[in-house]
């Protein structure tokens, strides 16, 4: 980076210290990014050039100018600093486009004016689906191959409008849009009926959870490809086009995972697929990292996150639909492993971007029951031998230790969640072993669980929150930036 380039503070962020004196950059949504004294000193020195920032440290500079240069790079990619004042106009424009703020009202009014006769409301029937009749705008392209977009909702009135508007704003056509409502008690269904008549709405009288609702949508979908979405997802305008291109140009691709970013902190990553290890919970890949372009050589993923995933009909026919025994959580890891077992690949598409309202879908108590049970279910169903025993041993030890912790802290509600999870798992054991037999009978011999686990990301810092400090720059971003510049 040239030492003559001038850097400015982004008006999207402010700098604060909490009551303990800990420094943070705070985005306009209120989301915080933890930093350190170096980040605080850089902020204080702005506006300035790299050379001027180095000089501002004087003799107190405790890091090299090369590391300071890398630090500035990451702050730039994180949207915390800018290179020119007039870049703010472009920045705002880019932000508006990504979230479809400018075009939403126009699209919504055109949707409202559509004929109510085009609305298909299904009460657990298998009537023929249909393609959204929204006219092609000047930026939409007819690719010929139908993509079925399937969205699962449950009490999602605060999210579903943004999700559907982002789909109608895609530059891909034709699209079939199916919303499966999981027995919502709020105004979700009425909102879709009134404002989005070009969607097919499937109303379930009982909450069949995420896996069951997705299967209901997949059963009636007619597309060659399927985009599966949670209700709190927004798509960048060219997302579906990028996913479809990636699918068509990648041999044996069964699932394509977009780059998921936080809606409330849109320069930070929520995940690019996910993975499991023999300790702790399953995790999104690269969560809380900044996208500095480090994924261009990433070719495969162990698992796709089904909060947003693009799959082919060919893969679905071979792999089958989701295992509803999971209800929610780990059902995507299960499907991804089975995808690999059938000879298909799970691949990333970092150029296809979606935004996620992280943590908006499930209450913590219910989620704890699901994740405790389902990580054990996954291992019992899909793993073999020493790997299977090693995972089970570590998971059970962790569960026991967690139970002792909750007992000590008198958190009896969380303790009860563990008891319910193990009881539920016990009732499911016969069906787990039956499904295991069916999976193992059809899997190809060339791929094992060890092969899939080997695809876990090697350079993933697994940050628990958004952080930009010297330790993370040295431990992760420095490698990313040098590797990127070497290509």
Which tens digit of pLDDT belongs to each residue from 457-480?
Answer: 988 888 999 999 999 999 999 888
Residue 86 domain flag:
no
Tell whether 178 and 50 lie within a shared domain: no
111 and 74: one domain? no
The pLDDT value given to residue 363? 58
Identify which has the larger pLDDT, 369 or 133.
369
- pLDDT bucket at 358, cuts 50 / 70 / 90: confident
Of 339, 356, 373, the residue at which a domain comes to its end is 356
The answer to the question of residue 419 being in a domain is no
Whether residues 64 and 119 fall in one domain: no
pLDDT at 244: 97
| Confidence tier at 31 by pLDDT (50, 70, 90) | very high
How much is the pLDDT for 359?
64
Cβ-based burial of 437 (10 A; exposed 0-12, middle 13-18, buried ≥19): exposed
Considering the domain architecture, whether residues 142 and 32 belong to the same structural domain is answered as no
At residue 62 the predicted structure's pLDDT band, cuts being 50, 70 and 90, is confident
Residue 111 is encoded by which pair of tokens?
Answer: 């949707």
The total domain count for the chain is 2
Average pLDDT over residues 299-316: 97
Of residues 32 and 116, the one with the higher pLDDT is 32
- Looking at the DSSP assignment, which residues form a beta bridge with residue 142? 173
Q: What is the mean predicted confidence (pLDDT) over 257-263? A: 97
The pLDDT of residue 119 is 33
Q: Does 181 map to a domain?
A: yes
Query: How much of the chain, in percent, has pLDDT values that exceed 90?
Result: 76
Residue scoring higher pLDDT (247 or 110): 247
Q: For residue 330, what are the CA distances in angstroms to 185, 303, 387? A: 26, 10, 18
Write down the pLDDT at residue 482: 77
pLDDT of residue 146: 97
pLDDT category, 140, cuts 50, 70, 90?
A: low
Per-residue pLDDT for 61 more than 90?
no
pLDDT tops 90 at residue 111: no
Q: Which domain holds residue 251?
A: 104-356
Task: Give me the mean pLDDT over the 276-305 stretch.
Answer: 94
Is residue 42 within 8 Å of 75, Cβ to Cβ? yes
- If asked whether residues 287 and 198 sit together in one domain, one would say yes
* pLDDT given at position 484: 62
User: pLDDT (tens digit, 9 = 90+) per residue, 174-230?
Assistant: 999 999 999 999 999 999 999 999 999 999 999 999 999 999 999 999 999 999 999
Compute the distance between CA of residue 351 and CA of residue 349 in angstroms, rounded to an integer. 5
Give mean pLDDT, residues 423-446: 96
- Domain with 50 in it: what CATH number? 3.90.930
How would residue 110 be classed by pLDDT, with cut points 50, 70 and 90? very low
Give one DSSP letter per residue of 56-89, joined into a string: HHGGG--S-HHHHHHHHHHHHHTTSEES-TTHHH
Would 402 be classed as within a structural domain?
A: no
pLDDT band at 118 (very low <50, low <70, confident <90, very high): very low
pLDDT at 310 over 60: yes
Least confident of 41-50, 105-114, 162-171, 334-343: 105-114
Q: Is the pLDDT of residue 103 over 90?
A: no
Q: Which CATH number do you get for residue 325?
A: 3.90.550.10
Mean pLDDT of the chain, nearest integer: 88
Omega within 30 of 0 (cis) for the link into 174: yes
Domain boundary residue, one of 303, 324, 356: 356
Query: Which residue bears the tokens 């909102």?
Result: 191
What confidence score (pLDDT) does residue 480 get?
Answer: 84
Looking at 92-106, 190-204, 250-264, which range is the least confident one? 92-106
């Amino acid at each position: 980076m040239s030492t003559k380039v001038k850097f400015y503070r982004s008006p999207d962020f402010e700098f604060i210290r909490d009551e303990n004196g800990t420094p943070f950059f705070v985005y306009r949504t209120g989301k915080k990014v933890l930093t350190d004294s170096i980040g605080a000193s850089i902020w204080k020195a702005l506006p300035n050039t790299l050379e001027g920032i180095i000089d501002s440290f004087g003799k107190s500079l405790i890091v090299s100018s090369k590391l300071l240069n890398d630090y500035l790079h990451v702050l730039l990619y994180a949207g915390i600093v800018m290179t020119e004042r007039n870049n703010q106009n472009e920045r705002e424009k880019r932000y508006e486009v990504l979230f479809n703020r400018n075009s939403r009202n126009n699209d919504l009014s055109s949707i409202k004016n559509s004929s109510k006769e085009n609305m298909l409301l299904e009460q657990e029937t298998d009537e023929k689906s249909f393609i959204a009749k929204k006219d092609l705008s000047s930026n939409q392209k007819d690719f010929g191959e139908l993509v079925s977009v399937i969205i699962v909702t449950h009490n999602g009135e605060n999210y579903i409008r943004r999700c559907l508007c982002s789909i109608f704003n895609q530059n891909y056509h034709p699209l079939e849009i199916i919303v499966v409502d999981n027995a919502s008690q709020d105004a979700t269904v009425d909102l879709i009926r009134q404002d989005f008549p070009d969607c097919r709405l499937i109303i379930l009288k009982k909450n069949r959870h995420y896996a069951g609702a997705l299967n209901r949508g997949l059963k009636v979908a007619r597309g060659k490809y399927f985009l599966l979405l949670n209700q709190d997802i927004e798509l960048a305008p060219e997302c579906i086009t990028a996913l479809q291109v990636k699918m068509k140009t990648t041999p044996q691709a069964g699932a394509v995972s977009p780059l998921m970013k936080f809606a409330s902190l849109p320069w930070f990553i929520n995940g690019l697929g996910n993975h499991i290890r023999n300790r702790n919970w399953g995790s999104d890949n690269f969560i809380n990292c900044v996208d500095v372009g480090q994924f261009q050589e990433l070719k495969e993923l162990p698992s796709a996150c089904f909060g947003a995933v693009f799959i082919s009909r060919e893969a679905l026919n071979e792999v089958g639909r989701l295992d509803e025994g999971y209800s929610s959580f780990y059902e995507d890891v299960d499907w991804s492993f089975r995808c690999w077992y059938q000879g298909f690949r799970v691949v990333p598409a970092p150029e296809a971007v979606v935004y996620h309202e992280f943590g908006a879908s499930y209450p913590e108590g219910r989620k704890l029951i699901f994740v405790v049970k389902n990580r054990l279910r996954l291992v019992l169903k899909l793993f073999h031998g020493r790997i299977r025993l090693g995972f089970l041993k570590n998971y059970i030890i962790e569960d026991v230790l967690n139970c002792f912790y909750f007992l000590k802290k008198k958190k009896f509600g969380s303790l009860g969640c563990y008891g319910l999870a193990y009881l539920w798992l016990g009732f499911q054991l016969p069906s787990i072993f039956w499904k295991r037999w069916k999976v193992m009978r059809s899997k190809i011999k060339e791929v094992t669980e060890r092969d899939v686990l080997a695809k876990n990301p090697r350079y993933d810092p697994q940050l628990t929150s958004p952080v930009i400090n010297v330790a993370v720059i040295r431990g992760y971003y420095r490698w990313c930036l040098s590797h990127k510049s070497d290509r």
